[in-house]
Amino acid sequence: MLVLLGAPGAGKGTQAHVLARHFGLPRVATGDLFRGAARDGSPLGLAARGYMERGELVPDEITVEMLLERLDAPDAERGAILDGFPRTRAQAEALDRALAERGTVVDAALLVDVPTGELLQRLTGRWLCGAVGHTYHETAYPPRVPGICDIDGSALIQRDDDRPEIVKARLEKQLGALADVVEHYRAAGVLQAVDGRRPIASVTNDLLDAIEPIPYWRTSP
């Protein structure tokens, strides 16, 4: 079992997709599990849907049960890449217990590490054109004329969700929980951190290098 960790905006999801393709393993994201549960009629799915419909967080034990059910599917027989779980220390501990019962472990927890300042820059620089929503980014892909859409000349606007003070408050909360999870895996001796500021392909190579020494994940004979 491989766990991918990273803050919002770190590029973790992108790397999870690339690694899943590389290893021929499923990428398992709890968000997808919840959406699936909302459609199927299994007892776990119905329980999870109840919490979601009341606007409550799905309890860790139910989330872990859903994860384990997903990992029983034939395509996950050789393992899986977890994307977006665990998010808290309690979830990491629940996952450890559940995996131990099945005689398996988290082989590696891969952290796509990006400094807070750069995360904020990535997350807050987004602007949309008022006409049809063409997207721009202050530093990554700025418009030719500040505040004006290149394509249709309409004024660019920023969504409330993308405003610096709102992004910062949300991010700080998430970084606190992430630090706990990182510490949990560091203590277990399975944490591997790579520099998430590098280009996507370089980050992928660094992740593969980090995984290489782990017997289960060895890609060359």
129 interacts with Zn ion by CB under 5 A = yes
- Is residue 135 part of the contact set for Zn ion (CB under 5 A)? no
Query: What would you report as the CA-atom Rg of the chain, rounded to the nearest whole angstrom?
Result: 19
- Marked catalytic residue, from 97, 159, 163, 218: 159
Burial class of residue 80, CB neighbours in 10 A (0-12, 13-18, 19+): buried
Considering the complex, what minimum distance in angstroms separates the CB of residue 121 from Zn ion? 23
Burial of 1 (C-beta count, 10 Å sphere; 0-12/13-18/19+): buried
Asked if 212 touches Zn ion (CB under 5 A), the answer is: no
DSSP 155: B
Residue with tokens 């849907």: 49
Largest CA distance in the chain: 60
For position 151 contacting Zn ion by CB under 5 A, the verdict is yes
Work out the angle between the directed axes of helices 43-53 and 30-39 (0-180°, nearest 10): 100
Confirm or reject binding of residue 134 to Zn ion (CB under 5 A).
yes
Residue 156 as a binder of Zn ion (CB under 5 A): the answer is no
The answer to whether residue 102 is catalytic is no
Say which of 49, 87, 186, 198 is annotated catalytic. Answer: 87
Judged by CB under 5 A, the residue of 77, 152, 209, 212 near Zn ion is 152
The question of whether 122 is a catalytic residue gets the answer no
Q: How far apart are CA 62 and CA 46, in angstroms?
A: 11
Selected from 28, 149, 167, 190, the binder of Zn ion by CB under 5 A is: 149
Question: Which of the stretches 35-43, 48-56, 151-159, 163-171 binds Zn ion when contact is defined by CB under 5 A?
Answer: 151-159
Residues marked active site are found at 12, 87, 126, 159, 170
Binding site for Zn ion (CB under 5 A): 129, 131, 134, 149, 151-152
